[in-house]
Structure 1
């Protein structure tokens, strides 16, 4: 039976951070409360009390992971430009220090695709929405609200996500990095190209 988790407390926050570190090393797919509790200095009973259920704990860890995934870009409307924002994101994604988090993201994203309920439900869609919003924040206002702007940031997200999966599978940093930078350079060129006057009948 799932219990309602109590309001956040210092102990809950402490255990969530410890559980998050554990998930970065061991993943979440085969998570068992007993070894997790032993690793974080708690007990299964306390974890259930603080998070309501095992599913509640998994949801909390996934939410914590999303915080780190989106922290690299902020929501300031500094309009760094979509290509520059893409490069900034890619540098973070390609940093070996972030491999554990990104492996956890890939595991959770895949699990979410077939989940109609449970802790993974909605995770993949939520991360897409998160990243599109972050990229949109770095587009000029006029572009951000247009259909063309939505297509451009969707293309950048698809490029980054595909390159990330390739990188996690192969660890071929030089090849994947060169491909990403080449595609983002094309986006720079497209942004700099002047728009000509509309033709009659166009």
Structure 2
């Protein structure tokens, strides 16, 4: 079997295991009282961008993961608004009846998804900026919102800019076409990193962006 076939078989096994779990909840009579979250910590790459498995890049196949949340009393809905794993803690806190306030309700550090689950305040999530990194060993960073995504490979001094709405497979790097936008996103990324890692954080230096800005001028 190919690696993708093996991966698909594992997914089928997870599906069956999850079904058994839900059946057990029903038999115990606690299904209606249980909040269920189904997600993952990462995706897998099968050479879509020159690598396999995970932890190597910040392309969608590695970082875009399923998130299914079942909370009884809420209507079923599907939404494509980007969220992050850190949103889960404030979400569960609010579902449990606790008041969620800053710093535990922060756009970068995690915000409750309960309003979104109830079909409210969608714009708050739609216009939210999300920052991430590949790993602590690799200096790869990503800054994204609903439409645009900037990937910065610091070790390679390489920037890539994608429109994930028009190009979900991230096949067209728009850095040369939109250097101004790339620079704006890179500055926002730097502000976030300085905020998280301290004022002495080494600035991002992207010669590829500087070259494009010079060409644009």
Q: Give the TM-score taking structure 1 as reference length.
A: 0.29
Greater relative contact order structure (CA < 8 Å, 6+ sep): 1
Q: Give the TM-score taking structure 2 as reference length.
A: 0.27
Q: Which has the higher helix share?
A: 1
